Structure 1
Amino acid sequence: MTKITLTRSAQLPDDLRVARALSAPHLGPRILFFSGGSALTKVSRALKSYTYNSAHLITPFDSGGSSQVLREAFDMPAVGDLRSRLMALADESDLGQPDIYALFSHRLAKDAPSPPLRGEVEALVAGTHPLIKAVSSPVGLLIRDFLREFLVAAPMTFDYRGASIGNLILAGGYLAHGRQLEPVLFLMSKMVDVRGTVRGVVDCNLQLGVELADGRRIHGQRQISGKEAAPIDTPITRLFLCQQGQEIDPASVPLPKRNRKLIRQADLICYPPGSLFSSVVANLLPGGVGRTIARCEVPKVYVPSLGTDPEALGLRLADRVAAILAPLRADAGMDVPATRLMSHVLCDGSEDPAACAEVTERHGIPCQRLPLTTDDPERYDRDRICALLVSMV
């Protein structure tokens, strides 16, 4: 048997490929995203019209908001970004499961005292709350069982303010399945007819840490992102995984076999817009990610964030590319060509041509400027992004 590698030129967008995807999304391409936060939510919602076969590897290392309350209570990975992506990819039509979608998307009040908020969860478990009464059995019974697991394990001091019911269901399912996320993610995907695959990149309860240009180290995603703390005022030079404040070897956190297979099956790999370190690079840290990507003979595309990213302070476009390549090369080998890990950088036409040229000069990676934004120069046009990715497959 002889193996050959074929290449092709791509027109961006390719109207024929886009029309074919829109006409048969169930046969759409397997586009894999290494993404974490909310920056890809609107694109994911639009993507359902182009393909039901996208895959999303999500960081479980978030330490902010409702996810952090659950992490502190149950010593578990973060589930907020996973739940958010599941909802973005769910079938929201009348043919889907709108009652279950409404339940998973419901949030408790932010300014109410804790006892009545716990009482609302108890009403869900009892089956008397309007949101659970609208869900038919046996799905309703399964959801109630997960929430019961959560309530039994929740400390009396648990802070229910602003809690996502979907997050509480995920936490209960995690506890009910031997502290594993994959089974409950699979079940939730089926409950709301998710048009794609959503997984945690690993099923580990770890934190993120960064090293700054001045030598300082900061631990915790919420400290890094600047969303719930003062923004970092010194450039980040490196991201790492840590446990109990101590850096750990990425090799001790291997990429699960099921996720290696998901990457190998992809028709295109995308490093999408999002907070550079805590949303994108964080997914590339586990052992085996770089090696698996390097072996794939598919386009590997970076679409950088628009506007100001507090995590990319002082970093030019070529520096952001370097930040993504660093953990991949650390895993795959420093002699692996950059183009085996990232084949294209696709920017909006507003990007400085000199910045694009620097990417190619430093890394040998082609960098293209394309019209990708809406009337708001800091927001991508989600259909243009979807059409662009579909055209490259």
Structure 2
Amino acid sequence: MEKPVTGTFSRCGPASYTTRGPRLLFFSGGSALRETSRRLIRHTRDSVHVITPFDSGGSSAVLRRAFDMPAVGDIRNRLMALADLEEPGVRELYALFTCRFSRREPGPALRVELERMACGEHVLAALVPEPVRGRVTGWLADFLAAMPEGFDLRGASVGNLALTARWLAHGRRLGPAIDEVSRLVGAGGLVRPVVEGDLHLAAELEDGSVVTGQHRLTGKEGAPVASPVRRIWLTGSPDDALPLSAAIDGEVAGLVSGADLICYPVGSFFTSVLANLLPAGVGRAVAACPGPKVFVPNPGGDPELLGHTVAGQVGLLRRVLAADGGEDGNDPAVAGRLLDYILVDGGADYPGGVDKAALAASGLRVVDRPLLGREPGRFDPDLLAEALLALV
């Protein structure tokens, strides 16, 4: 049975929520948690989604090269998952912001299509009611004005272009841009990038080779890695492995340390989950949070996890988090502050299996619940949401 949300929800934005509900915080990225996020807004309007802005593939790469910016695609994706589609006009705005330009049309035709959106003449823009239509078409007009000559619009997401325009308008800051979109769609949660810098990922594999760029690690745009990933770090370019440091700001640190529950969820393990834990301050903020910390391992199908068992993933999470405070992730007293639950479905096919006794011996409380849905290798979003809420 659903836990009712008490209080009222204001369209004034995240800072003005009078509804509480449990504050579940996710270190996430990509689309693996999209449907679960959508289900969570039935139970709480106070979830927090810390998103990786390191995507370096597809149309995100085109935007990043043009504007030297963090990736906004996963942020837009999560905002749309949290959108209140029952609010008047939000479904129409959702349709506009999730629209992608054709990958086959020539550049001049795509520019004309964007111009029609910016003028409010395109059908998707025309369906958005005023006064919101005037605001979002203005954002698209701003993007057109800033768009470099020869910019490749093929496959571009309209929502990403709008977010980019607001990022530019706010002095290249994502937080205020995210909040503007969040207010318009009545998002039932708070979305933040883990850091705002123009950063990328690099990894060393067990065979000693180095891979640069998130898109070369995921196995989605090319061949998957041929050797297990040994470690990952932040860089300043998808073509340069030179390590760079970055730190979370005070807002993100406060959100993490003040969460009722922290979740390391399903998703691409290295590029979505572990990547979120790399910036300085994340591990210390996690350790300062008194609530439960839960790992939900992938039930299968993640090409990044070649050669890594569930127990190995637990060790990596704890070591990366502990290193932020100069501590040893193998120390039971330290490890317990960083991760204390693992949520699994005993019927799922995990890489290397799930040794519950060994996981329990490492200090974890193993929670075995039915999570699998009808689609092979994927969790049911309702079952996953309910299992997490039961731990708060």
Same fold (TM over 0.5): yes
List alignment gaps of at least 5 residues for structure 2: 10-18
Does residue 103 of structure 1 match 2:96?
Answer: yes
Does residue 383 of structure 1 match 2:382?
Answer: yes
The corresponding residue for 2:391 is: 392
Does residue 185 of structure 1 match 2:184?
Answer: no
**How far apart in 2 are the matches of 1:134 and 1:69?**
28
**How far apart in 2 are the matches of 1:99 and 1:126?**
16
Tell which deviates more after alignment, 374-383 or 268-277: 374-383
**How far apart in 1 are the matches of 2:156 and 2:184?**
20
Tell which deviates more after alignment, 171-180 or 288-297: 171-180
The corresponding residue for 1:6 is: none
> With CA pairs under 8 Å and 6+ residues apart, which has the higher RCO, 1 or 2?
1
Letter of the 2:76 counterpart: R
Shift of 1:228: 0.6
The corresponding residue for 2:15 is: none
List alignment gaps of at least 5 residues for structure 1: 1-14
Pick from 64, 81, 85 the counterpart of residue 71 of structure 1: 64
Letter of the 1:379 counterpart: R
Shift of 1:19: 3.3
Does residue 146 of structure 1 match 2:139?
Answer: yes
> Would the alpha carbon gap of residues 330 and 249 (structure 1) be closer, same or farther in structure 2, given more than 3 Å must change?
farther
**How far apart in 1 are the matches of 2:355 and 2:376?**
17
Letter of the 2:218 counterpart: S
**Contact 1:43–1:382 (CA<8 Å) still a contact in 2?**
yes
Does residue 19 of structure 1 match 2:14?
Answer: no
SS in 2 for 1:337: helix
Shift of 1:110: 2.0
**How far apart in 1 are the matches of 2:232 and 2:46?**
30
Does residue 358 of structure 1 match 2:358?
Answer: yes
Percent identical among aligned pairs is: 45
SS in 1 for 2:355: helix
| TM-score w.r.t. length of structure 1 | 0.90
Whichever structure has more helix as a proportion of its residues is 1
Q: Deviations over 1:225-263 (max 9, x none)?
A: 01111110100010100113143353xx11011111111
**Contact 1:33–1:56 (CA<8 Å) still a contact in 2?**
yes
Does residue 302 of structure 1 match 2:286?
Answer: no
Q: Deviations over 1:311-347 (max 9, x none)?
A: 1101111111122222211102324621100010111
Pick from 89, 109, 122 the counterpart of residue 129 of structure 1: 122
The corresponding residue for 2:242 is: 247
Q: Deviations over 1:346-369 (max 9, x none)?
A: 1111257752222233x3222232
Tell which deviates more after alignment, 303-312 or 238-247: 238-247
> Would the alpha carbon gap of residues 356 and 140 (structure 1) be closer, same or farther in structure 2, given more than 3 Å must change?
same
The corresponding residue for 1:344 is: 341
**Contact 2:49–2:191 (CA<8 Å) still a contact in 1?**
yes
Counting matched residue pairs gives 374
**How far apart in 2 are the matches of 1:247 and 1:345?**
34
RMSD: 1.9
Pick from 197, 210, 228 the counterpart of residue 203 of structure 2: 210
**How far apart in 1 are the matches of 2:158 and 2:41?**
24
**How far apart in 2 are the matches of 1:150 and 1:54?**
30
**How far apart in 2 are the matches of 1:285 and 1:225?**
17
**Contact 2:100–2:157 (CA<8 Å) still a contact in 1?**
yes
**Contact 1:317–1:356 (CA<8 Å) still a contact in 2?**
no
| TM-score w.r.t. length of structure 2 | 0.91
